Protein backbone atom coordinates (compact mmCIF):
# COMPACT_ATOMS: atom_id res chain seq x y z
CA UNK A 1 0.00 0.00 0.00
CA UNK A 2 1.32 3.41 -0.94
CA UNK A 3 2.12 5.18 2.35
CA UNK A 4 1.79 8.64 0.82
CA UNK A 5 -1.69 7.95 -0.49
CA UNK A 6 -2.69 6.28 2.76
CA UNK A 7 -1.71 9.27 4.82
CA UNK A 8 -3.68 11.70 2.69
CA UNK A 9 -6.78 9.65 3.26
CA UNK A 10 -6.35 9.53 7.04
CA UNK A 11 -7.61 13.11 7.15
CA UNK A 12 -10.98 11.85 5.97
CA UNK A 13 -10.92 9.11 8.59
CA UNK A 14 -10.28 11.55 11.40
CA UNK A 15 -13.20 13.66 10.22
CA UNK A 16 -15.49 10.68 10.70
CA UNK A 17 -13.91 10.00 14.08
CA UNK A 18 -14.83 13.46 15.35
CA UNK A 19 -18.44 13.10 14.18
CA UNK A 20 -19.05 9.76 15.78
CA UNK A 21 -17.38 10.54 19.10
CA UNK A 22 -18.80 13.99 19.81
CA UNK A 23 -21.58 12.70 22.05
CA UNK A 24 -19.42 10.41 24.14
CA UNK A 25 -16.38 12.64 24.68
CA UNK A 26 -14.04 10.43 22.66
CA UNK A 27 -14.75 7.36 24.81
CA UNK A 28 -16.13 5.56 21.74
CA UNK A 29 -14.79 6.26 18.28
CA UNK A 30 -13.13 4.85 15.19
CA UNK A 31 -10.66 5.59 12.40
CA UNK A 32 -11.34 4.31 8.88
CA UNK A 33 -8.50 4.34 6.34
CA UNK A 34 -8.27 3.49 2.67
CA UNK A 35 -5.76 3.92 -0.15
CA UNK A 36 -6.32 7.16 -2.03
CA UNK A 37 -5.92 5.19 -5.28
CA UNK A 38 -7.89 1.96 -5.72
CA UNK A 39 -6.42 -0.63 -8.08
CA UNK A 40 -8.74 -2.27 -10.60
CA UNK A 41 -9.06 -6.05 -10.53
CA UNK A 42 -7.26 -6.35 -7.18
CA UNK A 43 -8.01 -6.55 -3.49
CA UNK A 44 -7.56 -3.14 -1.88
CA UNK A 45 -7.02 -3.25 1.86
CA UNK A 46 -9.25 -1.09 4.06
CA UNK A 47 -8.86 -0.70 7.81
CA UNK A 48 -11.32 0.01 10.62
CA UNK A 49 -9.77 0.82 14.01
CA UNK A 50 -12.28 1.07 16.88
CA UNK A 51 -11.96 2.60 20.34
CA UNK A 52 -14.07 2.06 23.43
CA UNK A 53 -17.13 -0.02 22.57
CA UNK A 54 -16.16 -3.21 20.69
CA UNK A 55 -19.58 -4.83 20.21
CA UNK A 56 -20.33 -6.68 16.99
CA UNK A 57 -21.26 -4.27 14.20
CA UNK A 58 -21.60 -4.01 10.42
CA UNK A 59 -20.02 -1.74 7.84
CA UNK A 60 -21.24 -1.17 4.28
CA UNK A 61 -18.67 0.18 1.78
CA UNK A 62 -20.00 1.70 -1.45
CA UNK A 63 -17.97 2.85 -4.46
CA UNK A 64 -19.45 5.57 -6.70
CA UNK A 65 -18.09 7.00 -9.96
CA UNK A 66 -18.83 9.71 -12.52
CA UNK A 67 -18.31 9.11 -16.25
CA UNK A 68 -17.62 12.78 -16.94
CA UNK A 69 -17.79 16.23 -15.36
CA UNK A 70 -21.52 16.75 -16.01
CA UNK A 71 -22.80 13.23 -15.31
CA UNK A 72 -24.49 12.02 -12.13
CA UNK A 73 -22.85 9.61 -9.70
CA UNK A 74 -23.38 5.91 -10.34
CA UNK A 75 -23.05 3.16 -7.75
CA UNK A 76 -20.31 0.90 -9.10
CA UNK A 77 -20.23 -1.74 -6.37
CA UNK A 78 -20.71 -2.26 -2.66
CA UNK A 79 -19.73 -4.74 0.00
CA UNK A 80 -20.90 -5.34 3.57
CA UNK A 81 -18.54 -6.45 6.35
CA UNK A 82 -19.49 -7.94 9.72
CA UNK A 83 -17.14 -6.81 12.47
CA UNK A 84 -16.79 -9.42 15.21
CA UNK A 85 -17.26 -8.53 18.85
CA UNK A 86 -14.00 -7.60 20.55
CA UNK A 87 -12.26 -6.86 17.26
CA UNK A 88 -10.38 -3.60 17.67
CA UNK A 89 -8.40 -3.52 14.42
CA UNK A 90 -10.20 -4.98 11.39
CA UNK A 91 -8.48 -5.33 7.99
CA UNK A 92 -11.02 -5.48 5.16
CA UNK A 93 -10.30 -6.69 1.61
CA UNK A 94 -12.24 -4.70 -0.97
CA UNK A 95 -12.15 -6.33 -4.42
CA UNK A 96 -12.45 -3.56 -7.00
CA UNK A 97 -13.91 -5.08 -10.14
CA UNK A 98 -13.70 -2.96 -13.35
CA UNK A 99 -16.94 -1.22 -14.28
CA UNK A 100 -18.87 -2.96 -17.07
CA UNK A 101 -18.24 -1.40 -20.47
CA UNK A 102 -16.38 1.59 -19.01
CA UNK A 103 -12.62 1.92 -19.46
CA UNK A 104 -12.14 5.35 -17.91
CA UNK A 105 -14.12 7.44 -15.45
CA UNK A 106 -13.84 11.10 -14.45
CA UNK A 107 -13.87 10.72 -10.65
CA UNK A 108 -14.75 8.35 -7.83
CA UNK A 109 -16.00 8.47 -4.26
CA UNK A 110 -15.90 5.95 -1.41
CA UNK A 111 -18.88 5.98 0.99
CA UNK A 112 -19.16 4.06 4.29
CA UNK A 113 -22.29 3.45 6.38
CA UNK A 114 -22.73 1.26 9.41
CA UNK A 115 -23.44 0.97 13.09
CA UNK A 116 -21.26 1.12 16.17
CA UNK A 117 -22.76 0.25 19.55
CA UNK A 118 -26.19 0.83 18.11
CA UNK A 119 -25.37 4.28 16.72
CA UNK A 120 -25.11 5.05 12.99
CA UNK A 121 -21.79 6.06 11.47
CA UNK A 122 -21.06 7.38 7.98
CA UNK A 123 -18.51 9.27 5.91
CA UNK A 124 -17.09 9.68 2.41
CA UNK A 125 -14.15 11.01 0.46
CA UNK A 126 -12.85 11.14 -3.12
CA UNK A 127 -10.70 8.33 -4.49
CA UNK A 128 -8.83 7.69 -7.73
CA UNK A 129 -8.72 4.57 -9.84
CA UNK A 130 -5.64 2.88 -11.27
CA UNK A 131 -4.87 -0.36 -13.02
CA UNK A 132 -1.87 -2.64 -13.09
CA UNK A 133 -0.61 -2.42 -16.66
CA UNK A 134 1.26 -5.17 -18.40
CA UNK A 135 3.44 -2.49 -19.98
CA UNK A 136 4.84 0.91 -19.08
CA UNK A 137 3.74 4.04 -20.96
CA UNK A 138 5.74 7.28 -20.88
CA UNK A 139 3.60 10.23 -22.00
CA UNK A 140 5.43 13.56 -22.16
CA UNK A 141 4.29 17.01 -23.32
CA UNK A 142 6.76 19.61 -24.59
CA UNK A 143 5.88 21.87 -21.61
CA UNK A 144 3.61 21.67 -18.55
CA UNK A 145 1.66 24.91 -19.13
CA UNK A 146 -0.04 26.23 -22.29
CA UNK A 147 -1.87 29.39 -23.27
CA UNK A 148 -5.14 29.36 -25.25
CA UNK A 149 -4.48 29.04 -28.99
CA UNK A 150 -1.13 27.26 -28.60
CA UNK A 151 -0.28 23.85 -30.04
CA UNK A 152 0.28 20.98 -27.62
CA UNK A 153 3.03 18.64 -28.77
CA UNK A 154 3.49 15.32 -26.99
CA UNK A 155 5.12 11.97 -27.43
CA UNK A 156 4.39 8.43 -26.24
CA UNK A 157 6.85 5.61 -25.59
CA UNK A 158 5.75 2.08 -24.71
CA UNK A 159 8.09 -0.20 -22.76
CA UNK A 160 7.82 -3.68 -21.36
CA UNK A 161 8.34 -4.45 -17.68
CA UNK A 162 12.09 -4.77 -18.33
CA UNK A 163 12.11 -1.17 -19.62
CA UNK A 164 12.83 -2.30 -23.19
CA UNK A 165 11.02 -0.72 -26.18
CA UNK A 166 8.58 -3.03 -27.93
CA UNK A 167 9.14 -4.20 -31.49
CA UNK A 168 5.73 -5.18 -32.78
CA UNK A 169 4.10 -3.65 -35.84
CA UNK A 170 0.67 -4.83 -34.72
CA UNK A 171 0.92 -3.01 -31.39
CA UNK A 172 -1.66 -0.23 -31.75
CA UNK A 173 -3.64 1.77 -29.21
CA UNK A 174 -6.02 4.73 -28.98
CA UNK A 175 -5.00 8.14 -27.66
CA UNK A 176 -7.51 10.78 -26.63
CA UNK A 177 -7.50 14.19 -24.94
CA UNK A 178 -10.04 15.41 -22.36
CA UNK A 179 -10.61 18.90 -20.98
CA UNK A 180 -11.14 19.59 -17.24
CA UNK A 181 -14.87 18.81 -17.61
CA UNK A 182 -14.12 15.34 -18.98
CA UNK A 183 -15.19 16.18 -22.54
CA UNK A 184 -13.21 14.27 -25.17
CA UNK A 185 -12.02 16.86 -27.68
CA UNK A 186 -9.28 15.06 -29.63
CA UNK A 187 -8.81 11.41 -30.51
CA UNK A 188 -6.11 9.46 -32.34
CA UNK A 189 -7.24 6.01 -33.41
CA UNK A 190 -5.01 2.95 -33.86
CA UNK A 191 -1.73 4.73 -33.07
CA UNK A 192 1.33 2.58 -33.79
CA UNK A 193 3.46 2.24 -30.62
CA UNK A 194 5.54 -0.80 -31.59
CA UNK A 195 8.42 1.14 -33.17
CA UNK A 196 9.76 3.43 -30.44
CA UNK A 197 8.67 7.00 -29.74
CA UNK A 198 5.50 8.27 -31.41
CA UNK A 199 4.97 12.05 -31.65
CA UNK A 200 1.60 13.77 -31.96
CA UNK A 201 0.13 17.25 -31.58
CA UNK A 202 -3.18 19.10 -31.43
CA UNK A 203 -4.19 22.80 -31.31
CA UNK A 204 -5.97 24.51 -28.43
CA UNK A 205 -8.93 26.77 -29.17
CA UNK A 206 -8.71 30.50 -28.61
CA UNK A 207 -11.07 30.18 -25.63
CA UNK A 208 -10.63 26.66 -24.23
CA UNK A 209 -11.75 25.43 -20.82
CA UNK A 210 -8.92 26.43 -18.50
CA UNK A 211 -7.56 24.02 -15.93
CA UNK A 212 -5.99 20.55 -15.89
CA UNK A 213 -6.30 18.62 -19.16
CA UNK A 214 -5.60 14.89 -19.58
CA UNK A 215 -3.98 12.81 -22.33
CA UNK A 216 -4.89 9.11 -22.09
CA UNK A 217 -3.43 6.08 -23.86
CA UNK A 218 -5.81 3.12 -23.78
CA UNK A 219 -6.22 -0.33 -25.31
CA UNK A 220 -7.93 -3.55 -24.28
CA UNK A 221 -5.26 -4.32 -21.65
CA UNK A 222 -3.61 -1.13 -20.52
CA UNK A 223 -4.49 2.45 -19.64
CA UNK A 224 -2.14 5.33 -18.78
CA UNK A 225 -2.52 9.09 -18.70
CA UNK A 226 -0.73 12.35 -17.97
CA UNK A 227 -1.92 15.89 -17.30
CA UNK A 228 -1.03 19.42 -18.41
CA UNK A 229 -2.45 22.83 -17.55
CA UNK A 230 -4.12 25.41 -19.78
CA UNK A 231 -4.50 28.97 -18.52
CA UNK A 232 -3.86 32.58 -19.41
CA UNK A 233 -0.49 33.84 -18.27
CA UNK A 234 1.82 36.65 -19.24
CA UNK A 235 5.56 36.46 -18.93
CA UNK A 236 7.39 39.72 -18.20
CA UNK A 237 8.96 41.01 -21.42
CA UNK A 238 12.09 42.17 -19.65
CA UNK A 239 13.49 42.65 -16.17
CA UNK A 240 15.56 45.43 -14.62
CA UNK A 241 18.37 44.74 -12.16
CA UNK A 242 20.36 47.22 -10.08
CA UNK A 243 23.77 45.89 -9.07
CA UNK A 244 25.85 47.16 -6.11
CA UNK A 245 29.25 45.96 -4.85
CA UNK A 246 29.06 43.01 -2.45
CA UNK A 247 29.88 45.43 0.40
CA UNK A 248 30.67 49.13 0.88
CA UNK A 249 32.25 50.75 3.92
CA UNK A 250 30.50 53.73 5.48
CA UNK A 251 33.54 55.99 4.87
CA UNK A 252 33.66 55.22 1.12
CA UNK A 253 33.66 58.34 -1.07
CA UNK A 254 32.49 56.67 -4.28
CA UNK A 255 30.27 53.65 -5.02
CA UNK A 256 30.08 51.92 -8.46
CA UNK A 257 26.56 50.99 -9.61
CA UNK A 258 25.17 49.33 -12.74
CA UNK A 259 21.60 49.21 -14.05
CA UNK A 260 20.78 46.46 -16.58
CA UNK A 261 17.60 45.71 -18.55
CA UNK A 262 17.38 42.35 -20.32
CA UNK A 263 14.67 40.43 -22.12
CA UNK A 264 13.73 37.04 -20.67
CA UNK A 265 15.67 35.39 -23.51
CA UNK A 266 18.87 37.28 -22.61
CA UNK A 267 19.03 40.08 -25.22
CA UNK A 268 19.64 43.70 -24.08
CA UNK A 269 16.75 46.17 -24.01
CA UNK A 270 16.79 49.40 -26.00
CA UNK A 271 14.98 51.86 -23.78
CA UNK A 272 14.87 55.22 -22.02
CA UNK A 273 16.17 55.22 -18.43
CA UNK A 274 15.05 57.57 -15.64
CA UNK A 275 17.38 57.18 -12.67
CA UNK A 276 17.11 58.53 -9.10
CA UNK A 277 19.93 58.23 -6.56
CA UNK A 278 19.60 59.33 -2.94
CA UNK A 279 19.74 58.31 0.69
CA UNK A 280 16.67 56.56 2.01
CA UNK A 281 14.12 58.94 3.48
CA UNK A 282 12.04 58.37 6.57
CA UNK A 283 8.41 59.41 6.67
CA UNK A 284 8.86 61.39 9.90
CA UNK A 285 11.71 63.53 8.52
CA UNK A 286 11.09 67.23 7.95
CA UNK A 287 11.88 68.84 4.60
CA UNK A 288 14.84 70.66 6.21
CA UNK A 289 16.65 67.45 7.12
CA UNK A 290 16.20 65.71 3.80
CA UNK A 291 19.21 65.13 1.56
CA UNK A 292 19.53 65.78 -2.20
CA UNK A 293 18.12 63.45 -4.86
CA UNK A 294 20.24 63.03 -8.00
CA UNK A 295 18.14 62.63 -11.14
CA UNK A 296 19.43 61.41 -14.47
CA UNK A 297 17.69 60.67 -17.78
CA UNK A 298 19.41 58.89 -20.67
CA UNK A 299 19.07 56.33 -23.46
CA UNK A 300 19.78 52.75 -22.35
CA UNK A 301 21.32 49.98 -24.43
CA UNK A 302 21.17 46.98 -22.10
CA UNK A 303 23.33 48.24 -19.21
CA UNK A 304 24.40 51.58 -17.78
CA UNK A 305 27.22 51.91 -15.26
CA UNK A 306 27.98 54.99 -13.19
CA UNK A 307 29.66 56.02 -9.94
CA UNK A 308 27.89 57.59 -6.98
CA UNK A 309 29.79 60.47 -5.40
CA UNK A 310 28.61 60.15 -1.80
CA UNK A 311 29.15 63.86 -1.03
CA UNK A 312 26.53 64.73 -3.68
CA UNK A 313 23.76 62.89 -1.82
CA UNK A 314 25.15 63.45 1.71
CA UNK A 315 26.97 66.82 1.61
CA UNK A 316 27.75 66.96 5.35
CA UNK A 317 28.55 63.24 5.60
CA UNK A 318 26.44 63.00 8.75
CA UNK A 319 23.97 60.36 7.49
CA UNK A 320 26.32 57.38 7.23
CA UNK A 321 23.77 55.22 9.03
CA UNK A 322 21.28 55.59 6.18
CA UNK A 323 21.03 53.18 3.27
CA UNK A 324 21.65 54.37 -0.28
CA UNK A 325 18.60 54.13 -2.54
CA UNK A 326 18.65 53.75 -6.33
CA UNK A 327 15.40 53.74 -8.33
CA UNK A 328 15.25 52.97 -12.06
CA UNK A 329 12.35 53.50 -14.46
CA UNK A 330 12.94 51.80 -17.83
CA UNK A 331 10.65 52.63 -20.79
CA UNK A 332 11.05 50.28 -23.77
CA UNK A 333 11.55 51.93 -27.14
CA UNK A 334 8.72 51.42 -29.60
CA UNK A 335 6.19 49.89 -27.16
CA UNK A 336 6.36 52.24 -24.18
CA UNK A 337 6.26 49.29 -21.75
CA UNK A 338 7.60 50.41 -18.37
CA UNK A 339 9.40 48.36 -15.69
CA UNK A 340 10.47 49.84 -12.36
CA UNK A 341 13.12 48.62 -9.93
CA UNK A 342 14.40 49.92 -6.59
CA UNK A 343 17.41 48.68 -4.65
CA UNK A 344 18.90 49.65 -1.26
CA UNK A 345 22.54 49.42 -0.18
CA UNK A 346 23.56 49.19 3.48
CA UNK A 347 27.03 50.42 4.38
CA UNK A 348 29.28 48.47 6.74
CA UNK A 349 30.82 50.02 9.84
CA UNK A 350 33.73 47.59 10.12
CA UNK A 351 36.00 46.47 7.27
CA UNK A 352 36.49 43.04 8.82
CA UNK A 353 34.54 40.57 10.95
CA UNK A 354 36.48 38.40 13.37
CA UNK A 355 35.19 35.36 15.23
CA UNK A 356 37.08 33.36 17.85
CA UNK A 357 34.20 30.87 18.20
CA UNK A 358 34.98 29.02 15.00
CA UNK A 359 34.58 25.56 16.48
CA UNK A 360 31.78 25.16 19.01
CA UNK A 361 33.41 21.94 20.26
CA UNK A 362 36.65 23.70 21.06
CA UNK A 363 37.22 23.98 24.81
CA UNK A 364 36.52 27.24 26.58
CA UNK A 365 38.96 26.24 29.30
CA UNK A 366 42.72 25.87 29.36
CA UNK A 367 45.04 23.82 31.55
CA UNK A 368 47.84 25.64 33.35
CA UNK A 369 51.23 24.44 32.21
CA UNK A 370 50.00 23.44 28.75
CA UNK A 371 49.80 25.51 25.52
CA UNK A 372 46.39 26.61 24.26
CA UNK A 373 45.77 26.29 20.50
CA UNK A 374 42.93 28.19 18.85
CA UNK A 375 41.63 29.48 15.54
CA UNK A 376 40.35 32.91 14.47
CA UNK A 377 38.09 33.42 11.45
CA UNK A 378 38.58 36.68 9.51
CA UNK A 379 35.92 37.63 6.93
CA UNK A 380 34.77 40.60 4.88
CA UNK A 381 31.42 42.31 5.58
CA UNK A 382 29.81 40.09 2.90
CA UNK A 383 31.05 36.99 4.82
CA UNK A 384 33.65 36.03 2.20
CA UNK A 385 37.06 34.93 3.54
CA UNK A 386 39.51 37.80 4.09
CA UNK A 387 42.86 36.41 2.96
CA UNK A 388 46.23 38.01 3.71
CA UNK A 389 44.91 40.37 6.39
CA UNK A 390 47.41 41.34 9.14
CA UNK A 391 45.83 40.86 12.56
CA UNK A 392 47.27 41.42 16.03
CA UNK A 393 45.97 38.97 18.64
CA UNK A 394 46.42 39.96 22.27
CA UNK A 395 45.97 37.68 25.28
CA UNK A 396 45.37 39.30 28.68
CA UNK A 397 46.23 36.81 31.44
CA UNK A 398 44.72 37.39 34.89
CA UNK A 399 46.82 36.00 37.70
CA UNK A 400 45.93 35.54 41.34
CA UNK A 401 48.08 34.41 44.27
CA UNK A 402 48.16 34.74 48.06
CA UNK A 403 51.25 36.42 49.55
CA UNK A 404 51.45 36.49 53.36
CA UNK A 405 47.65 36.31 53.74
CA UNK A 406 47.23 39.01 51.07
CA UNK A 407 45.31 38.27 47.89
CA UNK A 408 47.32 39.69 44.98
CA UNK A 409 45.80 40.17 41.49
CA UNK A 410 47.80 40.96 38.39
CA UNK A 411 47.13 41.19 34.66
CA UNK A 412 49.75 40.54 31.99
CA UNK A 413 49.17 41.24 28.30
CA UNK A 414 50.88 39.41 25.44
CA UNK A 415 50.46 40.41 21.75
CA UNK A 416 51.57 38.81 18.50
CA UNK A 417 51.02 39.62 14.83
CA UNK A 418 49.50 37.09 12.40
CA UNK A 419 48.30 37.00 8.78
CA UNK A 420 45.12 35.22 7.70
CA UNK A 421 45.50 32.34 5.24
CA UNK A 422 43.72 31.96 1.90
CA UNK A 423 40.59 30.71 3.67
CA UNK A 424 40.55 33.62 6.12
CA UNK A 425 41.74 31.62 9.16
CA UNK A 426 44.48 32.31 11.68
CA UNK A 427 45.86 29.57 13.89
CA UNK A 428 47.36 30.91 17.11
CA UNK A 429 49.00 29.47 20.20
CA UNK A 430 49.11 30.79 23.76
CA UNK A 431 52.23 29.68 25.58
CA UNK A 432 51.91 27.62 28.79
CA UNK A 433 50.93 29.72 31.83
CA UNK A 434 51.78 29.35 35.51
CA UNK A 435 49.35 27.74 37.90
CA UNK A 436 48.37 31.18 39.27
CA UNK A 437 46.70 32.11 35.94
CA UNK A 438 42.92 32.05 36.47
CA UNK A 439 41.62 33.40 33.11
CA UNK A 440 42.69 34.55 29.66
CA UNK A 441 40.99 37.28 27.60
CA UNK A 442 41.53 37.32 23.82
CA UNK A 443 41.10 40.35 21.58
Residue 290 lies in a domain: yes
Residue pLDDT, tens place only, 25-60: 447 888 899 988 888 777 888 999 888 888 888 899
The pTM assigned to this predicted structure is 0.45
Specify whether 397 is located in the same domain as 328: no
416-443 pLDDT per residue, tens? 888 888 888 888 888 887 777 778 888 8
In this structure, the answer to whether residues 185 and 219 fall within a common structural domain is yes
Q: Do 296 and 198 belong together in one domain?
A: no
What pLDDT, on a 0 to 100 scale, did the predictor assign at position 322?
86
The yes-or-no verdict on residue 20 having pLDDT over 70 is no
Same domain as 320, residue 253: yes
- 12 phi and psi, to 5 degrees? -65, -40
Residue 163 inside a domain? The answer is yes
Residue 10, in any domain of the structure: no
CATH for 273: 2.60.40.1940
Q: Are 277 and 294 in contact (CB under 8 A)?
A: yes
Residue 374 in domain: yes
For 308-358, the pLDDT digits (tens) are 998 888 888 888 888 889 999 999 988 888 899 999 988 888 888 888 777
Cα-to-chain-centroid distance, residue 61: 38
Structural domain ending residue among the three candidates 230, 253, 287: 230
- Do 380 and 406 fall into the same domain? yes
Statement to judge: residues 140 and 194 lie in one domain = yes
Determine phi and psi for 72, rounding to 5 degrees: -85, 160
What is the domain range of residue 300? 238-348
Query: Does residue 16 belong to any structural domain of this protein?
Result: no
The answer to whether residues 178 and 106 belong to one domain is no
pLDDT at 101: 65
**8 within a domain of the structure (yes/no):** no
242 plus 344 within the same structural domain:
yes
- Structural domain count of the chain: 4
CA atoms of 2 and 10, how far apart (whole Å):
13
Strand partners, 165: 159
Q: What is the CATH number of the domain that holds 390?
A: 2.60.40.10
**DSSP 3-state assignment of 255?**
strand
Closest CA to 66 of 110, 106, 109, 101: 106
* Rounded alpha-carbon distances, angstroms, from residue 206 to 146, 185, 209, 210, 230: 12, 14, 10, 11, 11
Q: Are residues 119 and 146 in the same domain?
A: no
CA distance 32 to 116: 13
Residue 147 lies inside a defined structural domain of this protein: yes
Q: Which of 296, 320, 348 is the last residue of a domain?
A: 348
| Judgement on whether residues 336 and 246 belong to the same structural domain of the protein | yes
Q: What is the CATH number for 197? A: 2.60.40.1930
Domain's final residue, options 131, 158, 190: 131
Residue 416 maps to a domain: yes
Amino acid sequence: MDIRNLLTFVAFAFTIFQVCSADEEVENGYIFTSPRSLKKGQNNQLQLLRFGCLDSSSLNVQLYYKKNYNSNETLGQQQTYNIAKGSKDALLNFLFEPFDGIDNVYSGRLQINGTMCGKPISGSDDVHFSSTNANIYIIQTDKPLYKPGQTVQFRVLKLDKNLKPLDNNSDVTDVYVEDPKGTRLFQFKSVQLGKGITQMEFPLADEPVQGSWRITVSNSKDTASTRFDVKEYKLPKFEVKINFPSFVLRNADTIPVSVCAQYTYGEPVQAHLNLNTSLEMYSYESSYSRTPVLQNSLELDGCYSYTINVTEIDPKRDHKYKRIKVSANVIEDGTGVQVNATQYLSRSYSPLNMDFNVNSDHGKYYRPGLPYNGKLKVSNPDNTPAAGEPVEICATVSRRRIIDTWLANKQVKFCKNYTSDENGYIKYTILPQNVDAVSINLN
